[in-house]
Structure 1
């Protein structure tokens, strides 16, 4: 862990370069992503005119590209490795891996139920998924609707936030009538 607590573009470049030059996942500061987020966030808050503003935009774009490259390199190393060592993974990367593990478990569950003739179990999974709720923010007005769970929802005005069944949410999101609300929104 050669980097100090503060991140700048030069240090970010050095960290990404070091990661690309090694086959294994490199050890870095555990709060790297938070420090990097602070660095980019602080840059975005600064206001400049003219050439200085153009330079700021280039720095932000470069930092964004390096960040994307860094995450993708580390995730690719993880996916190519048959034996994942959690030792040098950051908590944010473990969060991503949790979702991958959940995906694999779900795929195995569906495969097992299908080849073992458990159609009632598959029907239950399907129904539970259709009716699980999702939080959405409405981009257009919507009249009352009947949810996949046969409950009534709405009516909704622009910017209203509601919890509705997944199947209904997906239909509204696809038509750009609503957008999914995520934790970071």
Structure 2
């Protein structure tokens, strides 16, 4: 990472302040979020004792709040802008927008099927969603279960990872028996 692209508390605060004071979406270094993640990661790895550790923890908290604020401000500008400058969007923000676009498409699909009397299509969607498989990690032991797809799964031990139908996974997650596995590095 070059010196000019390094992020610290002052540069992050300055970026958030500039974004807050402008009505348009500002151009930011394309690697901004990655550099920020490196900064936060390095800060969290540092080990101190006593007061210095409290200062570090407070700095991490402040950086986290500034980061949340920046993302919130930029996404708000993006969603409320009629003449958005696409080139100023960062890849991570495009990733967020893709999911919002998919949500709009799904909403329109459901609305259209409902008002056009396509109940079989809606039934097919619902069944497909119930049986869509997701990855979970078990927090407790679980006996064999019959999935929404009528297949047998398990038994499972604590810390086992499994791919099971969405409906069953949601029930286990709601009972704090399992947790969804998120793809992270």
TM-score (norm 1): 0.96
For 2:155, the equivalent position in structure 1 comes to 155
TM-superposition CA deviations, 1:39-78 (whole Å, max 9, x none): 0000100101122111111111110110000000001111
3-state DSSP of counterpart to 1:129: helix
The alignment yields a C-alpha RMSD, in angstroms, of 1.1
Structure-1 residue corresponding to 2:136: 136
CA shift, 1:4, in A, is 2.3
Structure 1 runs, 4 residues or longer, greater than 2 Å off: 82-85
How far 1:6 moved relative to its partner?
Answer: 0.3
Structure 1: 5+ residue stretches without partners: none
**Structure 2 runs not aligned, ≥5 long:** none
Deviation at 1:80, TM superposition (A): 1.3
Matched, 1:36 2:42: no
> Aligned with 1:159: secondary structure?
coil
Question: Could you say what secondary structure the match of 1:23 adopts?
Answer: coil
Q: Which residue of 2 aligns with 1:78?
A: 78
2:82 & 2:120 partners in 1: Cα distance?
35
* Rounded Cα–Cα distance in structure 1 between residues aligned with 2:26 and 2:137: 40
The C-alpha deviation readout for 1:76-131, integer Å capped at 9, x for no partner, is: 11111134331100000000000000000000000111111111111110000000
> SS of the residue aligned with 1:170?
helix
State the distance in 1 between where 2:149 and 2:93 align.
35
Aligned residue in 2 for 1:165: 165
* Greater mean alpha carbon deviation, residues 3-12 or residues 20-29: 3-12
1:162 counterpart SS class: strand
Q: Distance in 2 between matches of 1:160 and 1:83?
A: 49
Per-residue Cα deviation, 1:112-158 (whole angstroms, up to 9, x for no partner): 11111111111110000000000000001000000000000000000
Tell me, what secondary structure is at the counterpart of 1:136? Answer: strand
**Could you tell which deviates more after superposition, 76-85 or 170-179?**
76-85
Task: Answer yes or no: is 1:16 the counterpart of 2:11.
Answer: no
